[in-house]
Amino acid sequence: MHKNDAIAIFKEHNLNGEQIFIAYFEKEDNKWNWKGTRGAEWDTPVQWSSMYEVPYIYSGAISDESISEVNVGDKIAKIIKVEDNKRFWYGISDVKDAEVKIVKKDGTQETVEEINEELLKDWHK
């Protein structure tokens, strides 16, 4: 992000249930300009998403307590505890297609695709 830019993270309860969002703002001529927002839900096939323009902000919701770290490319993402076992992470990258990896408490690592295909198969059955 540029100096003096900002992000806001907020929860919302709507028809889709509880969601969490990250919004990106740029300050231009002493005015805040909204540049983009991405949302996430817990326990869905969508494991993360990213904004479509620089800075690419990757984010997702996690409820797996065995996850200790999330990496976006070569950078460690920020993890925020929301409530109980619900957490939200975000990472900023200059790379459009950065690799997202999780690190578990036991040290194992795995690349995380944007969509969990296995969970998607049974999603609305």
Q: How much is the pLDDT for 68?
A: 97
* Res 18: pLDDT: 87
pLDDT < 70 stretches in the chain: 1-2, 123-125
pLDDT for residue 123: 65
CA distance 115 to 55: 22
Task: Determine the Cα–Cα distance for residues 17 and 101; give it in Å rounded to an integer.
Answer: 27
| pTM for the model | 0.89
Contact between 49 and 60 (Cβ < 8 Å): yes
Q: Which pLDDT score is estimated for 93? A: 92
Ordered DSSP codes for 3-51: TT-EEEEEEEEETTEEEEEEEEEEEETTEEEEEEEEEE-TTSSB--EE-
Domains along the chain with CATH numbers: 6-121 (2.60.40)
